Amino acid sequence: MNTKKGNISYWLFLIPSLVAVITVILIPLLYGIYTSFTNSDGFNMDFIGLENYRQLFSDSQFIESMWFTLKFAVVAVIGVNVIGLGFAVLVTQKIGRVTTFFRTLLFTPNLIGGLILGFIWQFIFNRAFVGIAEITNIDFFNGWLSDPSTAYWGMVIVFLWQMSGYIMLIYIAFLSKIPTELIEAAQLDGASALQTFTHIKMPLLAPAFTVSLFLTLANAFKVYDLNLALTSGGPFRSSEMVAMNIYNTAFLQYKQGYAQAKGVVFLVVIVLISIAQVYFTRQREVDLS
Amino acid sequence: MKKKWRNRLKYLLLAPLLFILLVGCSDQKSTDSGKGVKEIEFFNQKPEISRQLKELANTYSEAHDDVKITVTTIGSGEGAAGLQAKFTSGNPPEIMMLGGTSEIDRYQDTLLEVSDLEVTNTIMEDLLEGALIDDSLLAIPMNVEGFGWMYNKEIFKEAGIDPESIETFDDFVEAVEKLDQQKEDLGIEEVFAFSGAEDYSSNQFSAHFTSPEFDHSILEAYEATELNWKYGDQMKAYMDLFNEYNIQPILGVNYSQSVEELFINSQVAMVHQGNWIVPTLNGIDSDFVEEKLGILPVFGENNETAKIVAGAPWYIGINSDIDDDVKEAAKDFVDWMYLSDEGQETLVHEMQMIPPQEGYDVEDITDSVSQIIYQEMLDENTSAMAHNQYPDGWFQLVLFPEFQRYLDGYSTWEEFEKNTSEGFQEMREQ
């Protein structure tokens, strides 16, 4: 009886978000895919078929950016999750009020926008590090952002700094959901803290891994603001991530059709990787109920 | 079951309808509001003059009841993309600041021919060239900017170097070595603080050596399909020189460190910059410009001829796709900006710009460096701003990375020339 009414309100409530999704995601996506088959400069466009995609595979800078992003994502995803989980375990120890303080403290970097964070760290790498180098005479601290390999690590460090606190929150939520009986039972059976962690907590955290890995993976691939503020792709475009490569193609060279083609390829890559990740981590999830 | 589906379908259809409705509502142009008032939007790409420009627009609007001028500012490298967004959104500005020939070329179909403006006759002949598309003049040069080696007069004096006596490149090298030997006595860290972290630094610097290849003509530079580094040896000599005596790591030196810290605090003797740093320097230390700032030209084409690069990096264009009376108002505003006393006063003193027009008293221009640039411009003794005419994206995506590679020892000069030339040709063709 109430199915009809339910249906009406169901769709009524859905309409605003549907409109939003269609207008800001679906239509631009379809239009973008169409644009990738043209030679659009943002002003005029002609259909040129698959030419952009053909060009893409011989674009060494794009391939290099893809590799850089991939290398960045792998290290960043592992790092963020290890550190985030570590933090989460630390601040869920029952040692009184200080844990709240540390939770807030560790989460704070995430509240600062990527651009600001980038500039702050640029200052740290270019000034504080150089200052240390001058005092201690250790060359290790010199010119971090002006060398390709250290610029890479600079990006990774700042990303870890930014994301770990956020991922920590997710792990905290899942850690505190683990029933205490289970842990007590394990302790009664004589399990050490490490054993409880690896055999009880880790398997029960599987859903948390699914969520966190997905979030970090997607974020690590799409980094732009941090990249722009910290290295701006430098030195000599060695730290240019795919998002920046696409932006530069579209708005510095005005080859928007070509940039769209890059965007489409990039989208496909992210979707494939994300689906694979979610599929594999889902398999490890256990159902308690 | 069937009914349910029909219902669903009904609402599904509602969604696109709502969308169309929303789009329909937002498409009304702002000019419709207020009867008889001609609304003019001035699209500005220079954030540093946004306040002064607004004041100027207000003064004009107050004197003309039927005209309302608003200023929109998007700058710091995003201006071009911002302007494009304005056009694609169907809400193009009536007056727009354009960043050189390539932008004028891009919007040529919607730009008004401006040769009949009163101000046009007063503009320096050389500057108009950059706004000529198929022999029609589509924009007015906004101002003149010039650059070279900005040096600290006091340091030069203490080191016993007379800048006037630098007549050849060898003299310049000698002066640099002399400065380097007395580093401790002079209290400087290094001779140069070239900002190797900024892409536009490499771009501007290259103009000294590409301008002669294009006969110091911006139009020729714009039409060039290749760049052969005819004067590359000269550029290499300069780069090797400043790289040796520069703050290191050179690739880490950014604008703010170079100008706002090292140069103004007399910790380096020279930076490669232009007159646009004058307001910034004035803001930090009001005596610096007056007492210490000087400009040295660059020996771009050979060891004996030194020139400053000067020209108009910005142009003002008027939208041709608007009502005739609005067009007239826009033209009148541009004329007023450059010809009226209030306009000229604001331009030269408030915005501290070098005017693109002939006929100013050199003494009227605010600072000594700008005076030199204006005078050189009048004497037609400058190199052209060839760097504004490179293919879109070339300097950010090819020149700058290769420039950095060479400075950092990752590649040889031959590789630099080869890669940049190839990139130039490739990007020009598209």
Cβ–Cβ gap A126/B18 under 8 Å: no
A104: tokens are 């807030």
Distance from CA of B425 to the nearest CA of A (A): 14
DSSP letter at B111 equals B
Cβ–Cβ gap A143/B249 under 8 Å: yes
Give yes or no for B19 touching A (CB within 8 A): yes
User: Is residue B3 domain-resident?
Assistant: no
Q: What are phi and psi of B160, to 5 degrees?
A: 75, 35
**Domains held by chain A: number:** 1
Cβ–Cβ gap B393/A254 under 8 Å: yes
Task: Provide mean pLDDT across the span A85-104.
Answer: 84
Cα(A209)–Cα(A217) distance, integer angstroms: 11
Search chain A and give the residue with CA nearest B254. A126
Contacts of B257 (CB under 8 A, 6+ apart): A126, B193, B195, B247
**Domain of B186?**
146-310+382-429
Give yes or no for B243 touching A (CB within 8 A): no
When mean pLDDT is compared across B9-18, B76-85, B145-154, the lowest value belongs to B9-18
State the best of B2, B4, B6, B11 to mutate against chain A, taking most chain A CBs within 10 Å.
B11
Q: Which of B46, B51, B49, B120 is nearest to B335 (CA)?
A: B120
- ipTM at complex level: 0.77
When mean pLDDT is compared across A4-8, A153-157, B264-268, B386-390, the lowest value belongs to A4-8
Tell me whether residue B208 is exposed, middle or buried, using C-beta atoms within 10 angstroms of its C-beta: 0 to 12, 13 to 18, 19 or more.
buried
**C-beta neighbour count of B46 within 10 angstroms:** 21
Give yes or no for A109 touching B (CB within 8 A): no
DSSP lists the bridge partners of residue B70 as: B41
Handedness of CA B62, B68, B74, B79 (dihedral sign): negative
User: Is residue B367 domain-resident?
Assistant: no
Tell me whether residue B226 is exposed, middle or buried, using C-beta atoms within 10 angstroms of its C-beta: 0 to 12, 13 to 18, 19 or more.
exposed
CATH code for position B386:
3.40.190.10
Cα(B33)–Cα(B135) distance, integer angstroms: 38
User: Is residue B369 domain-resident?
Assistant: no
Give yes or no for A43 touching B (CB within 8 A): yes
User: Is residue B12 domain-resident?
Assistant: no
Cβ–Cβ gap B404/A61 under 8 Å: no
pLDDT for res B29: 45
Give yes or no for A32 touching B (CB within 8 A): no
Identify which of A240-244, B25-29, B80-84, B358-362 has the greatest average pLDDT: A240-244
Query: Using a CB-CB distance cutoff of 8 angstroms, which residues of chain B are in contact with residue A143?
Result: 248-249, 251-252
From the list A18, A235, A248, the residue facing B397 with the nearest CB is A248
Are residues B325 and B286 part of one domain? Answer: no
Distance from CA of B338 to the nearest CA of A (A): 31
pLDDT for res B361: 86
Kindly state the percentage of chain A with pLDDT values over 90: 28
Coil, strand or helix: which one is B116?
A: coil
Are residues B245 and B135 part of one domain? Answer: no
Cα(B172)–Cα(B241) distance, integer angstroms: 10
Contacts of B158 (CB under 8 A, 6+ apart): B182, B185, B186
Distance from CA of A57 to the nearest CA of B (A): 17
HSE-up (13 A, CA, CB side) for residue B214:
26
Distance from CA of A146 to the nearest CA of B (A): 5
Give yes or no for A107 touching B (CB within 8 A): no
Residue holding tokens 């170097």? Answer: B161
Residue holding tokens 């009163």? Answer: B118
Give yes or no for A20 touching B (CB within 8 A): no
Cα(A146)–Cα(B249) distance, integer angstroms: 7
Higher pLDDT: A87 or A283? It is: A87
Q: At what angle do helices A98-111 and A60-91 cross, to 10 degrees?
A: 160
B268: amino acid identity, one letter: V
**Domain of A255?**
55-283
Give yes or no for B6 touching A (CB within 8 A): no
From the list B15, B16, B397, the residue facing A252 with the nearest CB is B397
pLDDT for res B32: 46
Query: Using a CB-CB distance cutoff of 8 angstroms, which residues of chain A are in contact with residue B196?
Result: 146
A97: amino acid identity, one letter: R
Cα(A247)–Cα(A243) distance, integer angstroms: 6
Cα(B394)–Cα(A243) distance, integer angstroms: 19
Give yes or no for B20 touching A (CB within 8 A): no
Cβ–Cβ gap A252/B396 under 8 Å: yes
Are residues B158 and B110 part of one domain? Answer: no
Tell me the pTM. Answer: 0.81
CA distances from A71 to A115, A155, A224 (A): 22, 11, 16
pLDDT level of residue B3 (50, 70, 90 thresholds): low
- HEC string of B324-352 equals HHHHHHHHHHHHHHHHCHHHHHHHHHHCC
Task: Provide mean pLDDT across the span B145-157.
Answer: 93
User: Is residue A63 domain-resident?
Assistant: yes
User: Is residue A16 domain-resident?
Assistant: no
Give yes or no for A185 touching B (CB within 8 A): no
Are residues B287 and B187 part of one domain? Answer: yes
Are residues B139 and B44 part of one domain? Answer: yes
pLDDT for res B299: 93
Distance from CA of A239 to the nearest CA of B (A): 11
Distance from CA of B202 to the nearest CA of A (A): 12
pLDDT for res B168: 93
CA distances from B19 to A15, A35, B180 (A): 10, 22, 68
Are residues B339 and B231 part of one domain? Answer: no
Are residues B117 and B229 part of one domain? Answer: no
Above 50 in pLDDT, residue B28?
no
Are residues B302 and B189 part of one domain? Answer: yes
Are residues B237 and B344 part of one domain? Answer: no
Search chain B and give the residue with CA nearest A41. B106
Asked if A158 contacts A121 with a C-beta cutoff of 8 angstroms, the reply is yes
Distance from CA of B366 to the nearest CA of A (A): 34
Above 50 in pLDDT, residue A163?
yes
User: Is residue B228 domain-resident?
Assistant: yes
User: Is residue B371 domain-resident?
Assistant: no
Quote helix, strand, coil % in chain B, to nearest 5.
55, 15, 30
Query: Using a CB-CB distance cutoff of 8 angstroms, which residues of chain B are in contact with residue A147?
Result: 249
**C-beta neighbour count of A66 within 10 angstroms:** 18
The mean pLDDT value of chain A amounts to 86
Q: What are phi and psi of A106, to 5 degrees?
A: -70, -25
Are residues B125 and B41 part of one domain? Answer: yes
User: Is residue B168 domain-resident?
Assistant: yes
Handedness of CA A93, A95, A97, A98 (dihedral sign): negative
CA distances from A242 to A182, A221, B235 (A): 45, 8, 32
Give yes or no for B47 touching A (CB within 8 A): no
pLDDT for res B80: 83
Cβ–Cβ gap B19/A22 under 8 Å: yes
Give yes or no for A252 touching B (CB within 8 A): yes
Q: Which of B162, B131, B130, B166 is nearest to B148 (CA)?
A: B166
DSSP lists the bridge partners of residue B68 as: B39
Coil, strand or helix: which one is A43?
A: coil
User: Is residue A186 domain-resident?
Assistant: yes
CATH code for position A168:
1.10.3720.10
Cβ–Cβ gap B248/A23 under 8 Å: no
**Domains held by chain B: number:** 2
User: Is residue A133 domain-resident?
Assistant: yes
A77: tokens are 């995803």
Are residues B419 and B354 part of one domain? Answer: no
Above 80 in pLDDT, residue B35?
no
Contacts of B263 (CB under 8 A, 6+ apart): B150, B152, B193, B271, B273
Give yes or no for B197 touching A (CB within 8 A): yes
Distance of CA B241 to the CA centre of its chain: 26
pLDDT for res A10: 87
User: Is residue A273 domain-resident?
Assistant: yes
**C-beta neighbour count of B309 within 10 angstroms:** 27
A64: tokens are 């290099």
Above 60 in pLDDT, residue A48?
yes
Are residues B227 and B188 part of one domain? Answer: yes
User: Is residue A28 domain-resident?
Assistant: no
Above 80 in pLDDT, residue B33?
no
When mean pLDDT is compared across A284-288, B138-142, B233-237, the lowest value belongs to A284-288
